[in-house]
Amino acid sequence: MNAHEIDYEIFGEEMQYVEIELDPQEAIVAEAGSFMMMDTDIKMNTIFGDGSNQDNSVLGKIFSAGKRMLTGESLFMTAFLNIGQGKKKVSFASPYPGKILPIDLSEMGGRFICQKDAFLCAAQGVTVGIEFSKKLGRGLFGGEGFIMQKLEGDGMAFVHAGGTLAKKTLAPGEVIKVDTGCIVGFTKEVDYDIEFVGGIRNTVFGGEGLFFATLRGPGTVYIQSLPFSRLAGRVLASIPRGGKDKGEGSILGTLGDIVGGDTRF
């Protein structure tokens, strides 16, 4: 294997974290901000790009980091290397409620396409790159632009899904239609495109967006019930305007807003 061979265990139900067991000189790379805890004798290094070591030249590292900028991620990642004599553990946490999905790239044909903010961590040697859309409609209206993340290699990678995770195995020619934000990722054989919802009533009053994704098999698709954009939108909508308490669950709260009074006793 080119990537480091790692062992892992996932803990929790709604707010999960993954614990990685590293042998001496094994390493894992992770997105900045996902670290939770680690044993002694694990050395943490900030690296430029994804640390896949495919091109160690200065230009190669700059290009690798530049690809991450296009997906909206930081120029840097963090590598955790076991410099001790025995097995050591390091853990990474989910950024919001949901599930952590382990991806064995050796069983996925060496490539997995995912949302640009889904990647959590991976064995060192896995390449974290970008996947450009070749279709104009998908690029303009897909919700993810022309760019998604591409994980390549033969090691383990971990991605995060919001809410409940659904796995759909598509037969050749089978099609599933999904909200663009609910896609976590899919195998390289899946054909991904964007379709207009259609109908004036659906377009104006539907409230579900103008487009949805069509994914055609063969291949495997992973779908999340709570994309972060939907979660953030609900939280933002619940923030009281002008810093006033909305008074949820209270009739006086609504009446107080009308008359401009303070309903708290």
Q: What is the mean pLDDT of residues 60-81?
A: 66
Nearest to 190 by CA among 214, 167, 210: 214
Q: Read off the pTM.
A: 0.78
Q: What is the mean pLDDT of residues 87-97?
A: 93
Query: What residues does each domain of the chain span?
Result: 7-239
- DSSP state at residue 108: T
User: pLDDT: is 123 or 195 the higher one?
Assistant: 123
pLDDT at 64: 55
The CATH class for the domain spanning 7-239 reads alpha beta
pLDDT in tens, 173-228: 999 998 888 889 999 999 988 776 654 554 444 445 567 788 999 999 999 998 87
Q: What is the pLDDT of residue 197?
A: 63
Structure tokens at 160: 């995060």
Res 152: pLDDT? 92
Strands (E) located in 154-210: 156-162, 165-170, 175-178, 183-187, 191-196
pLDDT at residue number 238? 78
112 or 95: whose pLDDT is higher? 112
pLDDT number for residue 120: 93
Q: Does residue 7 or residue 232 have the better pLDDT?
A: 7
40-44: long-range contacts (C-beta < 8 A, 24 or more apart)? 40/84, 40/88, 41/82, 41/83, 41/84, 41/85, 41/88, 42/80, 42/81, 42/82, 42/83, 42/84, 42/88, 42/90, 43/80, 43/81, 43/82, 43/83, 44/78, 44/79, 44/80
DSSP 247-258: -TT-HHHHHHHH
Secondary structure letter of residue 106 according to DSSP: G
pLDDT band at 110 (very low <50, low <70, confident <90, very high): very high
**What distance in Å separates the CA atoms of residue 169 and residue 13, rounded to the nearest whole number?**
23
C-alpha 91/C-alpha 35 separation (Å) is 6
The pLDDT of residue 166: 94
Which pLDDT tens digit goes with each residue over 226-237? 887 777 777 777
Quick: pLDDT tens for 124-166: 989 888 876 655 455 555 454 456 888 999 999 999 999 999 9
Please tell me the distance from the alpha carbon of residue 193 to that of residue 180, in angstroms, as a whole number. 10
How buried is 188 (Cβ within 10 angstroms: 0-12 exposed, 13-18 middle, 19+ buried)? middle
**According to the model, what pLDDT value does residue 51 have?**
62
Three-class DSSP category at 142 = coil
Confidence of residue 4 (pLDDT cuts 50, 70, 90): confident
Output the six-digit token pair for 247: 């008074």
pLDDT confidence of residue 18: 96
Structure confidence at residue 2 as a pLDDT band (50, 70, 90): confident
